[in-house]
Structure 1
């Protein structure tokens, strides 16, 4: 559900807005025009885990213009298992003040099989 909103813009200023069905739509359109942001879902490498990657996301939306650089930065990150849902993987991605957090538990791989009694 949503509405198609048309903005008339001149010299970077919104002159008029048509099609917004509610105040929230108007607020969203203004913010999307001035400072578009997105939540970034991706993965980071895991050392010693049952899987080689853990899914992560930004704890809050970050500026859309930072997404590609954030993905490149996260491609260099490797974390040690075990990992728990909500663990902070990176405290401040790209100077945005936004953390990268794990979106699932990921246990450590068993190094030696457990002997049966």
Structure 2
């Protein structure tokens, strides 16, 4: 079986062609650097993805805060992690880098805020 990939690990964007024989890489063509070879191996045998989304904020100057994972997770766990993130609501203030969900689903990755959200200050009415 033959597969094609476009490597995303460096600016070259190599078109890589792979021939698989009995579940193993038989021939790999088109990678200009070792990163391409590593990328194809990972995509074939253990694909990983990162997630960037948002979480609701209560009492903040913004209704949502952007979040991401600290490291990529197995591709097949994306929807499980998204389900966990959807359950979360944070209270302002939120700091950039603040851990929103530690060790999400026991995967050894944290969900962290990527933006600062200040708390709404109640100003006295005149």
User: TM-score, with normalisation over the residues of structure 2?
Assistant: 0.83
**Which deviates more, 6-15 or 82-91?**
6-15
The alpha carbon displacement at 1:41 in A equals: 0.2
1:58 and 2:75 aligned: no
What does residue 116 of structure 2 align with? 105
- Stretches of 4+ moved more than 2 A in 1? none
1:32 and 2:29 aligned: no
C-alpha contact 1:66 1:94 (8 A) present in aligned 2: no
C-alpha contact 1:39 1:60 (8 A) present in aligned 2: yes
CA RMSD of aligned residues (A): 1.5
- Partner Cα distance (2:24, 2:102) in 1: 34
Count matched residues: 115
The equivalences for 1:72-111 within 5 A come to: 72-110=83-121
- Partner Cα distance (2:76, 2:38) in 1: 20
What does residue 69 of structure 1 align with? 80
What does residue 8 of structure 2 align with? none
Q: Which has the higher contact order (CA 8 A, sep 6+)?
A: 1
Identify unmatched segments of 5+ residues in structure 1.
none
User: What secondary structure, in the 3-state scheme, does the structure 2 residue paired with 1:32 have?
Assistant: helix
The alpha carbon displacement at 1:115 in A equals: 6.5
Identify unmatched segments of 5+ residues in structure 2.
1-11
- Partner Cα distance (2:104, 2:60) in 1: 23
- Partner Cα distance (1:4, 1:84) in 2: 40
